[in-house]
Amino acid sequence: MNSTERYNFKIIEKKWQERWQNLKVFQAKVDHSKEKFYCLEMFPYPSGKIHMGHVRNYTIGDVLSRYKSLKGFNVMHPMGWDAFGMPAENAARENNLDPKDWTNKNISTMKNQLKRLGLSIDWDREISTCSEEYYKHQQLFFLELYEKGLVYRKENYVNWDPVDQTVLANEQVIDGKGWRSGAIVERKKLNQWFFNISKFSQDLLDGLDELNQWPNKVKIMQKNWIGKSFGCEIAFKTEGDLPVNEIKCFTTRPDTLFGFSFLALSVDHEISKYFNEDKRFQEFKKECSKTGTTEEAIAIGEKIGFKTNLMAINPLNPNQKVPVFFANFVLMDYGFGAVFGCPAHDQRDFDFARKYNLEIKTVVKPNGENDNFKVKDEAYSGPGELINSEFLNNLKVPDESIIKTIEILEKKKIGKKKINFRLKDWGVSRQRYWGCPIPMAYDNNGKVKAIPKEKLPIILPENVDLNSKGNPLDSKDDWKNIIIDGKKYVRETDTLDTFVCSSWYYLRFCSPRNNEYGYKKEDIDYWMPVDQYIGGVEHAILHLLYSRFFMKALGYKNETFKFNEPFKGLFTQGMVCHETYKDQDNNWLSPDEVELIGGQYHKKSEPNKKVNVGPSESMSKSKKNVIDPENIINNYGADAVRLFILSDSPPEKDVQWSEQGMVASYKFLQKLWTLHNKIKDKIKKNAKSNNENLNLEKFTNQMINKITNNLENFNYNVIIANIYEIYNFFNKEIDKNLNSKTIEENYKKILLLFSPAIPHFASECLEDLGFKSEILWPKINLDLLKEDKVDYIVQINGKKRLILNESRDINQENLLEKIKLNKLLDKYLNNKSIVKIIFVKNRLINLLINE
């Protein structure tokens, strides 16, 4: 390219993208002579076009992959498609298309868009979860887990839309109504398939400790989700008009048993069956399901109860009998669906007791209170000592009191020590068409039959009627009815939750074309685990926990599978945000519909109409505050977009999209190109000079050090600042009388430092200077890193008064001599005595003097 021309990203980016593709530069192969690095970003859902979130996610991963390659690692950086899911079904229904066609079209569009970002992806490993080549292995995994006893079927409540005849996910229920039909959602019991993830609760919890390259935040979220609690199960004897003589409860506070004043049951507790005919109870139950839909209602939710005629007996004090209620705040799926109420030391129980005038007996006093302490306006759940508890009195709350009480209960055979987990089994059945078919069938008695492995894959039928009520597979009789070994069966028509697909895709990338099985042992033994996984924090719990479960499930009863955790390192990037705009009629406006005139936004189409600017929020179609990456790439090029998306904020935090910032990045590349040509001319001159070269070498070396450190620590925004610093320095320094050879050597290193962030630009410059192969990350010269002169901060009584540039490693005495020679300090030091000197080598000296 002619050096007077502007930097033409259109030509140059295309050229390099084609070259990378043709030479298969990013193709990953098992090579035991090299250390591997598996870099993975969360694969996208093919929704139509890529968005800025993708741009950010994949740019971050690409910077890392390219850096690791230059560092000499054997990098695998694959990409695929999380291609099953409801949007395809909905879009297909609306546009009268086939979900498969819709999905594949989107994949092809998005793949081209990703390629235009210049990502270093091994496209030969591309996978799509909706292809039979992928999901057939998933069906086999399902059968394997079934054989291992990790899959089972049970009845479970679901959100049922009576109009659409379909099951709704929680987020599809809005104010108790179906998002599409608007019908009031019912709770319905359905038979569904479950993965026994709770079997691994303790393992999943323990595994978190090993994950020292995961954000703490995510580990805490998972820990809370798994929700281990230590306590005791107690069987309460009951008396009353029902054929019930015992109710089990789980409690973490058995020590407060003497404060017992009621027993509360979930409305779904098995005892509720005795109230099926009781109208008042049925009404109460309805009332309970009304509250508790919205989050706020739960937060301030009133406690309501339904009193039974049962009385529960305090096992430590058989004379005490308390009423048994059904209560809206008791959850059926935690513990036993029953709690013992101790109002004095639990706020919920306190509220409930107040409402129903139940006894509030204080059994814990805070430290420093006397035995007459009484709980008044709120429950006391802090530490202290037991009181009013007979033989438990004076035990220290919480540790001693809980352990001792459990011992006593166990001795009396009233209770048992118990560890309880909040984590529930994973319901994987979805009454949907566009998903992986579950390889199960039922005979005409409804008995389960696993499809024989040799009959796999079960291919999702095409040409289904998506407008039928309920699951379209249900009405596909020719697919549904099958014969195995001469016997008639009906297929399972539910499909798998799409989270199943994404729970093992990282394994598939290791052996994407292996036909026999989901992975090949040699491949995963080399590539796994994923060294760096990058994606949004919104998957902190479900996707990441399910993936971790999958590894444990595959390794269960399988000694050849040696992995415990899928992702060694995790990085969660922030979102891309943009200001929001609304017109006077409160309609959202997109950024292209508005323009800024004299500090005020106006509507482009109607310039006399003012626009209200809202806060910057995560880009979303509904608020119209989206910027289409494709337009941006067309206008400014991939490198400029990469530069901008990395520059403005640390990658783990949200970033504000800014048109000005984007333009600045574009202009910067133009300036950098001008500088490149200037440098190239200087190199060509072949000048020999020994005068001022050292500065350049030192600076380059410092930058290698800085950028390397910043790359290692994900400080990608600082790397961009470093690139600007390099520009500023070289742009000045290049005018000096420098040796051409020195310029060439150092500039080459600089270009390598540029290449993870702006690969097309750096490649072009390197080639322009005739550098071809041997591209490896530049080494740091530690000797050059040491300056022979150092700025010493001179403090008087802790205040900075002077900076002295003196030789490195100078000792305290010599530095003090120099200080005394400096007239600027006379006014501080004359006629004063130095009481103490703090000397930090090569940093500072602090003189403490008498004032």
Partner RNA sequence: GGGCGAGUGGCGGAAUUGGUAGACGCGUUGGUCUUAGGAACCAAUAGUGCAAGCUGUGAAGGUUCGAGUCCUUUCUCGCCUACCA
Which of left, alpha, beta for 40 (phi over 0: left; psi -120 to 50: alpha)? beta
Restricting to residues 311-330, name those near RNA by CB under 7 A: 328-330
Tell me how far CA of residue 37 lies from CA of 78, 114, 436, 509, in angstroms. Answer: 12, 21, 31, 13
Assess 110 for contact with RNA (CB under 7 A): no
Restricting to residues 459-498, name those near RNA by CB under 7 A: none
Q: Which is nearer to RNA, 163 or 419 (CB)?
A: 419
Assess 348 for contact with RNA (CB under 7 A): yes
Separation CA 470–CA 613 (nearest Å): 43
Assess 408 for contact with RNA (CB under 7 A): no
Assess 537 for contact with RNA (CB under 7 A): yes
Assess 823 for contact with RNA (CB under 7 A): no
Minimum CB–partner distance for residue 75 and RNA (Å): 26
* Residue 677 φ then ψ, to 5°: -65, -35
Minimum CB–partner distance for residue 239 and RNA (Å): 22
Assess 412 for contact with RNA (CB under 7 A): no
Restricting to residues 235-254, name those near RNA by CB under 7 A: 249-253
How crowded is the C-beta side of 405, counted as CA atoms within 13 Å? 29
Query: Which one of 717, 739, 746, 755 is in contact with RNA (CB under 7 A)?
Result: 717
Stretch that binds RNA, among 24-32, 108-116, 462-470, 665-673 (CB under 7 A): 665-673
Smallest Cα–Cα separation from 699: which of 725, 675, 671?
Answer: 725
Assess 292 for contact with RNA (CB under 7 A): yes
Q: Which helix (H) or strand (E) holds 725?
A: helix 716-733
User: Per the structure block, which two tokens stand in for 590?
Assistant: 């997109």
What one-character-per-residue DSSP string does 33-84 give?
TS-EEEEEEPPPP--SS--HHHHHHHHHHHHHHHHHHHTT-EEE---EE---
What mask of x and - would describe binding to RNA in positions 161 to 200, judged by CB under 7 A?
----------------------------------------
Query: Which one of 419, 597, 785, 840 is in contact with RNA (CB under 7 A)?
Result: 840
Stretch that binds RNA, among 37-45, 99-107, 140-148, 225-233 (CB under 7 A): 225-233
Contacts of 345 (CB under 8 A, 6+ apart): 253, 256, 259, 363, 364, 375, 379, 380, 381
Assess 634 for contact with RNA (CB under 7 A): no
Separation CA 340–CA 457 (nearest Å): 51
Query: Which one of 653, 684, 685, 820 is in contact with RNA (CB under 7 A)?
Result: 653
Assess 715 for contact with RNA (CB under 7 A): yes
Report yes or no: 701 and 39 within 8 Å, Cβ to Cβ.
Answer: no
Query: In angstroms, how far is CA 93 from the centroid of its own chain?
Result: 31
Separation CA 767–CA 777 (nearest Å): 16
Minimum CB–partner distance for residue 722 and RNA (Å): 8
Stretch that binds RNA, among 121-129, 139-147, 626-634, 797-805 (CB under 7 A): 797-805
Tell me how far CA of residue 4 lies from CA of 8, 436, 676, 838, in angstroms. Answer: 11, 57, 11, 57
Stretch that binds RNA, among 289-297, 366-374, 457-465, 734-742 (CB under 7 A): 289-297
Assess 597 for contact with RNA (CB under 7 A): no
Sort 345 into a burial class: Cβ within 10 Å, 0-12 / 13-18 / 19+. Answer: buried
Assess 398 for contact with RNA (CB under 7 A): no
Assess 359 for contact with RNA (CB under 7 A): no
What mask of x and - would describe binding to RNA in positions 722 to 761, judged by CB under 7 A?
--xx--x--x------------------------------
Q: Which helix (H) or strand (E) holds 299?
A: helix 295-300
Assess 648 for contact with RNA (CB under 7 A): yes
**434 C-beta neighbours (distance < 10 Å), count:** 26
Report yes or no: 366 and 387 within 8 Å, Cβ to Cβ.
Answer: no
Query: Which one of 63, 143, 655, 707 is in contact with RNA (CB under 7 A)?
Result: 655
Query: At residue 766, what is the residue type?
Result: L
Assess 59 for contact with RNA (CB under 7 A): no
Query: Which one of 11, 169, 174, 220 is in contact with RNA (CB under 7 A)?
Result: 220
Interior/surface letters 750-781, b for 16+ CB within 10 angstroms, e for the rest = bbbbbbbbbbbbbbbbbbbbebeeebebbeee
Stretch that binds RNA, among 96-104, 107-115, 644-652, 759-767 (CB under 7 A): 644-652
Query: Which one of 198, 291, 393, 514 is in contact with RNA (CB under 7 A)?
Result: 291
Query: Which one of 445, 836, 850, 851 is in contact with RNA (CB under 7 A)?
Result: 836
Minimum CB–partner distance for residue 364 and RNA (Å): 14
Assess 825 for contact with RNA (CB under 7 A): no
Beta strands 338-341 and 317-327, pairing class: unpaired
The site that binds RNA (CB under 7 A) totals a number of residues, namely: 83
